[in-house]
C-alpha cells in the first residue's frame, strides 16, 4: 500500500467498523468494554495517522486521544459514563484525530440522545403493557452511540 497516498478516511472508517463493532458487541452483550478493544483503537489510530501525516499526524492522534479521554472523563466523574466508554472515546479520538474530534463529540452526543429517546419510549411502552415493572431503571450501553457518532463524522468526509 502506498502510505503517502492512502485514503485516510477509508482506513479510519475500517478501523471504526472493526474495533468499534467489537466494542458495541461487548457493551451490548456484557455491559463492559475491554481494555484491549480501546487499546486496539488507540494503536490503530496512532499508526494510521502517523503513516498518513508523519509527526503531525501522530500529534493529531495523540491530541485526539487526550481530548476525547478528557471530554468523557468529566462525564464519568459525574457518574454519567463508564470507564470503558472513556477509554473507547480516547481510542477513537486517536482514529479521527484532533481536527475531527469536536464534530465526532457532537455526533456522539446526538446519536446518544436519539438512542436515549428510543430507550425511554420503549420503557414507557413496557410500563403500559407490564405495570409491575414501573420502578425499573434501564442503563444504556453507550458504545453504540460512540461508534455511531464517529462513523457519522467520517461518513461526512466522503
Plot region of 141 (φ>0 → left; ψ -120 to 50 → alpha; else → beta): beta
End-to-end CA distance of the chain: 20
Confidence (pLDDT) at 55: 95
Sign of CA dihedral 111, 134, 31, 86: positive
Confidence (pLDDT) at 50: 93
Confidence (pLDDT) at 138: 65
CA distance 103 to 44: 20
Sign of CA dihedral 115, 118, 120, 122: negative
In this predicted model, what pLDDT tens digit does every residue of 35-64 receive, in sequence order? 999 999 999 999 999 999 899 999 999 999
Evaluate whether 115 touches 149 at the Cβ level (below 8 Å).
no
Q: Grid cell 475491554 — which residue?
A: 34
Q: What is the mean pLDDT of the chain?
A: 89
Confidence (pLDDT) at 123: 78
CA distance 86 to 74: 9
Evaluate whether 95 touches 119 at the Cβ level (below 8 Å).
no
As a whole number, mean pLDDT of residues 88-96 equals 97
Evaluate whether 106 touches 82 at the Cβ level (below 8 Å).
no
In this predicted model, what pLDDT tens digit does every residue of 4-37 receive, in sequence order? 446 888 899 999 999 999 999 999 999 999 999 9
Total-model pTM: 0.87
pLDDT band at residue 127 under the 50/70/90 scheme: confident
Residue 3 has pLDDT above 70, yes or no: no
Amino acid at each position: 500500500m502506498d502510505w503517502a497516498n492512502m485514503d485516510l478516511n477509508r482506513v479510519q472508517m475500517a478501523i471504526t467498523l472493526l474495533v468499534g463493532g467489537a466494542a458495541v458487541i461487548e457493551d451490548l452483550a456484557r455491559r463492559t468494554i475491554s481494555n484491549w478493544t480501546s487499546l486496539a483503537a488507540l494503536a490503530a489510530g496512532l499508526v494510521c495517522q502517523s503513516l498518513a501525516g508523519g509527526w503531525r499526524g501522530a500529534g493529531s492522534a495523540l491530541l485526539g486521544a487526550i481530548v476525547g479521554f478528557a471530554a468523557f472523563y468529566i462525564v464519568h466523574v459525574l457518574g454519567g459514563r463508564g470507564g470503558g466508554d472513556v477509554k473507547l472515546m480516547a481510542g477513537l479520538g486517536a482514529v479521527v484525530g484532533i481536527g475531527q474530534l469536536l464534530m465526532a463529540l457532537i455526533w456522539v452526543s446526538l446519536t446518544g440522545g436519539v438512542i436515549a429517546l428510543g430507550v425511554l419510549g420503549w420503557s414507557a411502552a413496557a410500563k403500559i403493557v407490564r405495570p409491575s415493572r414501573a420502578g425499573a431503571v434501564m442503563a444504556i450501553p453507550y458504545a453504540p452511540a460512540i461508534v455511531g457518532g464517529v462513523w457519522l463524522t467520517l461518513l461526512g468526509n466522503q
